[in-house]
Amino acid sequence: MEFRDLKHQYQVLKDKMDKAVTEVMTDCNFISGKQVKVLETELASYVGTTHCITCANGTDALSMMLMAWNIGPGDAVFVPDFTFFSTGEVVSFEGATPVFVDVNPDTYNMDPSSLEAAILAVEQEGLLKPKVVIPVDLFGLPADYEAINKIAKSHSLKVLEDGAQGFGGMCHGKRACSFGDAATTSFFPAKPLGCYGDGGAIFTNDDETAALLESLRVHGKGTFKYDNVRIGWNSRLDTLQAAVLLVKFQAFKEYELEDINKAALWYNDALEGIFKIPVIPEGYNSSWAQYTIQVESEDQRTKIQASLKEQGIPTMVYYPKPMHRQKAFEGLKQYVPCPITERLCQTVLSLPLHPYMQEGDCHIVANAIGKSF
């Protein structure tokens, strides 16, 4: 069994995929080919923003947006303690200070009350200037942007939505990557919409910001390639990856998003009452980057993983260590406690999930977990 069955997906999309990739190689337009602009237009339309600026990966997308906002030394940027390293990494990369806040035990997303406590603690101390909040749409579910945006506005902070795992998710009719002052996503192969390598994108409604980002991603270019008006990056989405994404995006819209939600419901039916299953609040839809349950303890998780591995079933732990305990962040002040994150790091377990799973596959996993007790 595959954790995320990209092999099956390719077989389903093979004819269209091979044709799309062959076209790029035939035209030999590997950098900034026409497929890149077509993809950007389609993604912006789908999300509901004015602009989509693609780049080399999701981490670059976050860094470039912080750079566009002139975030740097002396600035505080608030990020969840329970998330992938890059969300905090980009803050330090720009010279600013990440401030870690706790998450909701049901949705795994940033806890607004912990966020506000952290902002107040930083303001009271007076050493850093609060500038940005980076909520993460973890495991496919948009964060609580109604509450987060309200808090951010009251403290004059910008909101940068990290939608790397959330693309396709929705909240009250709006799509992920449209909730903040700007948003980013990742096209890493295992993401809800992934390419065959690395890729990322930034979404914004601001014309000036979009123009700045288009300059930054190509060495700070001005009116033409050799007119460099600022220090920038080399962070472009390859035309080959854009071609791959255009094929995958059609499947994503037509049936994959619907089918992965069906698979998640099959899991719910099989596992409810046995473990704490994912919670999708009313009015929300998830794109199910992961299906994550909570077990009783780290010891129980280890036993379940070992048993499932023996039965040929892969599992993953996202994430085994809080951000504030990463060695790279050693020495940073912890402004608020994060007990939920500490517990989740010991008890979460993600199960195989993808749009091509059948109901029987979900029952095989559920029955295998039963045998592990």
Tens digits of residue pLDDT in 150-163: 999 999 999 999 99
Segment 115-142 shows an average pLDDT of: 98
Q: Which distant-in-sequence residues (6+ apart) come within 8 Å of 370 by Cβ?
A: 274
Two tokens at 235?
């962070």
DSSP string over 179-200 = SSSEEEEE--TTSSS--SS--E
- Is it the case that residue 368 has pLDDT exceeding 90? yes
What's the pLDDT at 370? 84
Which is more confident, 205 or 370?
205
What is d(CA 16, CA 248) in angstroms, rounded to the nearest whole number? Answer: 9
- Is it the case that residue 78 has pLDDT exceeding 90? yes
Segment 296-301 shows an average pLDDT of: 96
- Is it the case that residue 287 has pLDDT exceeding 80? yes
What's the pLDDT at 372? 78
Two tokens at 282?
């009313």
Q: Tell me which residue of 292, 348, 295, 276 sits closest to 319, measured CA to CA.
A: 348
What is d(CA 42, CA 177) in angstroms, rounded to the nearest whole number? Answer: 14
- Is it the case that residue 110 has pLDDT exceeding 80? yes
- Is it the case that residue 371 has pLDDT exceeding 90? no
What mean pLDDT, rounded, does the chain reach? 97
Two tokens at 289?
């980057």
The domains of the chain, with CATH numbers, are 6-101+109-248 (3.40.640.10), 255-371 (3.90.1150.10)
Residue with structure tokens 């107040």? Answer: 120
Two tokens at 194?
């992934």
Q: Tell me which residue of 143, 191, 144, 197 sits closest to 165, measured CA to CA.
A: 191
pTM of the shown model = 0.97
Element housing 175 (H / E): strand 174-175
Count the neighbouring beta carbons within 10 Å of the beta carbon of residue 37: 13
Distances (CA, A) of 338 to 103, 145, 335: 8, 20, 10
Share of residues in the chain with pLDDT > 70 (%): 100
Whether residue 319 has a cis bond before it, omega within 30° of 0 = yes
Two tokens at 50?
């004015």
pLDDT tens readout for residues 1-60: 999 999 999 999 999 999 999 999 999 999 999 999 999 999 999 999 999 999 999 999
- Cβ contact 41:51 at 8 Å: no
